[in-house]
Amino acid sequence: MKAPYWAAESPVEHLGSERYPYPLGREDVGLRHATSIGRVTALLTVDSTPCYSLAKNAWLCGQYWTDKGDQLISATEQHIELVVLSIGLSLVLSFPLALIARRFRVTAPVILGGATTVYTIPSLALFSLLLPVWGLTMTTVVVGLALYAITILIRNILAGLDGVPDAAIEAALGMGYGPTRMLFTVELPLALPAIMAGLRVATVSTVALATVGAILNYGGLGNLLYDAVNSQFKAQILAASVLCVALAVAFDVLLIAIGWVLTPWARRRT
């Protein structure tokens, strides 16, 4: 076995004769010191091509994250924008739709059936079908994502409202609550855990789905994935994938926290 460099009789042994072909005596301390500094700088300078260069194409490359940080941040920002806009739009649309489906039972099969049909359509196809309406814009992606989220939200809003205990409704009726006040102060708060559960599922799905928006050039982190297809840019693929999953987890945790704050009565007593 070869001795480690600090135990070597002469630096020549560990430095390799190709790069440092000078025979050094033990007494030549000054020169030996100088050579080891040279060795350190050599290590730093020889490998100057970054680990994400095409020649190396490493999966894990810290330098990619530092060098292309701006790109990663702007892609993440666009991703967050897509998710927030589409979830916001789906919330605004799904509440009236769910209330209509509940109030007028005839419309329920149409609304639920329509939503389920939309959910069956693959994302790439849905974005493509919306292309003639909004063209190559962010709106196409946002509307497409919102359509999927609406399906999940309508079902959960209806399930949540159905799950409100009859006793609570009767008590409110007895206290003279009208339908509007009943909805906002009794039914919706009691349905909130189910609605929040749906919102979590919808949001996490939307984070993952938004990547497909890359086909329209509005895919947030998906754009980075799409750009990396031809060059097989591994560091970028891994970074974008990891950030995407991290974003989904972050949104989920945020929504759990919001749900916890909004439903103090549902917290388990310890």
Residues binding other proteins (CB under 8 A): 59, 117, 119-126, 128-129, 131-132, 148, 152, 155-156, 201, 204-205, 207-209, 211-212, 214-215, 222, 225-226, 228-230, 232, 234, 237-238, 240-241, 244-245, 248-249, 252
| Shortest distance in whole angstroms from residue 34 CB to other proteins | 44
Question: CA nearest 61: which of 226, 228, 209, 220?
Answer: 228
| Shortest distance in whole angstroms from residue 56 CB to other proteins | 14
Measured from the CB atom, the residue of 141 and 186 that comes closer to other proteins is 141
Measured from the CB atom, the residue of 35 and 236 that comes closer to other proteins is 236
| Shortest distance in whole angstroms from residue 23 CB to other proteins | 47
Measured from the CB atom, the residue of 64 and 148 that comes closer to other proteins is 148
- The DSSP line for 134-192 is H-SSHHHHHHHHHHHHHHHHHHHHHHHHHTS-HHHHHHHHHTT--HHHHIIIIIHHHHH
Measured from the CB atom, the residue of 11 and 219 that comes closer to other proteins is 219
| Shortest distance in whole angstroms from residue 114 CB to other proteins | 12
CB 92 within 8 A of CB 142: no
Instruction: Using the Cα atoms of residue 87, residue 90, residue 91 and residue 92 in order, give the sign of their dihedral.
Output: positive
Measured from the CB atom, the residue of 28 and 227 that comes closer to other proteins is 227
Largest CA distance in the chain: 102
| Shortest distance in whole angstroms from residue 64 CB to other proteins | 15
How many angstroms separate the CA atoms of 124 and 222, rounded? 13
What b/e sequence results for 144-167 when a residue is b if at least 16 CB atoms lie within 10 Å of its CB, and e otherwise?
bbbbbbbbbbbbbbbebbeebeee
